[in-house]
Amino acid sequence: MHRWSIAACYTLEVAKVIVGVGGGIAAYKAALLVRELGRRGHTVKVVMTRAAQRFVGPVTFTGLTGEAPVVDLWDPSYAGEVHVELAAWADGLVVAPATANLMARAAHGIADDALTATLLCFDGPRVFAPAMHHRMWDHPATARNVATLAADGVRLAGPVSGPLASGESGMGRMAEPETIAEALEAALSDGRPADDLAGRHVLVSAGGTREALDPVRFLGNRSTGRMGYALAERAAARGARVTLVSAPTALAIPPGVDRVDVTSALEMKAAIDAARDGADAIVMAAAVADYRPSERADDKLKKTGGPLTVTMVRNPDILAELGAWRADSPRSGAGPVLVGFAVETRDLVAAARGKLERKRVDLVVANEADAAFGRATNRVTLVDATGEEALPELDKARVADRILDRVVALLRR
Ligand code: CTP
C-alpha cells in the first residue's frame, strides 16, 4: 500500500483490491462499487461467481477496470493458479453482494469456484456486504455463518433495512457502494500506526446536559453521547492526549481517555474553561441545554390541581464563548481548532453555516436529528468556510475519523 498526499492536506491510502461479486440482484451495484473504488484511487480486479454472471455481464467490469474479470478457476490466461496469484496481489478484498449461499461456502472453507478459492488463499482485510431476502438473513444458519466469518476476521458492511427484490421491505438490502468502500478503507487502515495526533491535546464534550428541576427531576435531551465518545476514542487511538468532558451517559470510558464527569451546562462550561488553555482542538459534540429552570427546588415538587409553570433562563453558549475567547486572544487567529455540531430538523446546511459564522468556529458537523440520536451510525455534512462535504451513512467511529482528518488538516495550516 502507498500513501499519497492529495492537495497538500488530505492523505489517502490507495490499495490493490479484489471485488468478489456474488449472484444476487444487488450485483448491479457491485459495478458502482468498482467505480467508487477506482474514483478513490484504488486498483481493482474483479472475480465473479457463475451466478453473478446471470445478473450482470463480465464486460461491464472489463469496461470499468480495463481488465476482464476472473470467472473461472481454470482460466488459461494465468500461467499459475489464478486464486493464488490474485490473493498474493491484493491488499484487500470485498465481497459484494455476499449472498447467503456465498457466505455459507466461505464460512465452511468450501473452495469450488474462483472466488471462494481466492477467499481461502487471502488472509488480509476482508469486507463482506451481505444482500438477501430478510428471511434468509434472519435464518439461524445465516446467523451462524456470519458469526463464523466475523470470528475469522471478516468485517461486514450492512446489510441495511429497505425495499428488497421481492417487493417486500426488511433487513437484507446491500449497503450503498460508498458505505462499502468506506468499510474497506477502514479495514485497510487497521493496524497502521495512526499517530497523526501525537503530541496534541484534544478536548471533547459529549452527552446531553441535565438541568435540574428538583432533587429527582431534570430536563434533558435525546443525546446518548456515542458520537462524542467515538471522537474521544479515535483521537486517543491516533495519539492525542484526550480530555472528555462528559454529561451523564451509559458509556464506558474509552481506553487512554481522561474523563471529567459533569451534569449541567454550567458545570460543563466550567470544566471546558478549566481545560481549554493548551488544547490544540476542542470538539463540542455535547448536546448542551440552551435553557435551565431559573431555580432548582430544594425539595421534590408536589403535584397540585393546576398546571405547573417553570421559568427558564438562558445557559451560556459554551461554543460561542470559545469562539469569542479565541478571536479576542492576544494571538488572534491562533488558539485551538474549534469544531461544533448542529443537529437540525430543517435547512441543515444553511443552519450549520449560520452557526459556523455566528460562533466563529472552523468546522460545523451538521446532522438531521433522526440520523443522529442513539444510533451506531451517523450521516453528517461537514461545513466549513470553503464549502460542504456530505458524507455517506457511516459507523460513528468512521465519522469521527473523518472529522479528525479535518482537525489534523486545520492544525497544519
Ligand atoms: N452549544 C454550546 N452551548 C450551548 C448550546 C450549544 O456549546 N449552550 C454547542 C453544541 O455543543 C454544538 C453547537 O453549540 O456544538 C450547536 O448547538 P445548537 O444548540 O444546535 O446551537 P444553537 O446556535 O444554540 O442553535 P439554535 O440557534 O438552533 O438554537
Q: Is it the case that residue 191 has pLDDT exceeding 70?
A: no
Residue 282 has pLDDT above 70, yes or no: yes
Strands 92-98 and 126-130, by their bridges, are: parallel
pLDDT band, very low/low/confident/very high, at 11 (cuts 50, 70, 90): very low
Distance of alpha carbon 366 from alpha carbon 380, whole angstroms: 5
Sign of CA pseudo-dihedral 129, 135, 138, 139: negative
Q: Do 201 and 278 form a contact (C-beta atoms < 8 A)?
A: yes
Is 221 annotated in the active site? yes
Kindly give the distance from the C-alpha atom of residue 242 to the centroid of ligand 1, in angstroms, as a whole number: 22
Ligand 1 pocket test: pick from 288, 312, 364 the residue with the most ligand atoms within 8 Å of its Cβ. 288
CATH 3.40.50.10300 placement within the chain: 201-411
The residue whose C-alpha atom lies closest to atom 14 belonging to ligand 1 is 319
Cα–Cα distance between 174 and 406 in angstroms, integer? 29
CA 83 to chain centre: 32
Q: What is the mean pLDDT of the chain?
A: 91
Give the pTM.
0.66
CATH of domain 201-411: 3.40.50.10300
Q: Which of 178, 170, 135, 128 is nearest to 149 (CA)?
A: 128
Amino acid letter, residue 334 = A
What is the C-alpha separation between 42 and 127, in angstroms, rounded?
A: 15
Q: Which residues line ligand 1 (CB under 6 A)?
A: 265, 284, 286, 288, 290, 315, 317-319, 340-343, 355
Closest residue by Cα to atom 18, ligand 1, is: 342
Q: What local confidence, expressed as pLDDT, does residue 388 receive?
A: 92
Question: Which of the pair, 1 or 223, is modelled with greater confidence?
Answer: 223
Residue type, 165: A
Q: What would you measure as the largest C-alpha separation in the chain, in angstroms?
A: 89
Q: Are 32 and 177 in contact (CB under 8 A)?
A: yes
What percent of the residues of the chain are helix, what percent strand, and what percent coil, each to the nearest 5? 35, 25, 40
Which part of the chain has CATH 3.40.50.1950?
Answer: 2-189
Poorest-pLDDT segment among 11-25, 39-53, 252-266, 345-359: 11-25
Q: Report the nearest atom of ligand 1 relative to the CA of 319.
A: 7
CB contact at 8 A, 293 and 311: yes
Say yes or no to pLDDT of 167 above 90: no
User: Is the pLDDT assigned to residue 5 strictly greater than 60?
Assistant: no
* pLDDT exceeds cutoff 60 at 252: yes
Ligand 1 centre distance from Cα of residue 148 (Å): 44
Residue 286 C-alpha to ligand 1 middle, in angstroms? 9
Q: What is the CA radius of gyration of the chain?
A: 25
- State pLDDT tens for residues 368-413: 877 767 777 888 999 999 999 988 777 888 899 899 999 999 998 8
**Ligand 1 center–CA 346 separation, angstroms:** 15
Residues 95-132: pLDDT tens digits? 999 999 999 999 999 999 999 999 999 989 999 999 99
**Among 145, 221, 315, 367, which one carries the catalytic annotation?**
221
Cβ contact 35:43 at 8 Å: no
Residue 305 CA neighbour count, 13 Å, CB half? 0
Q: Which CATH class is domain 2-189?
A: alpha beta
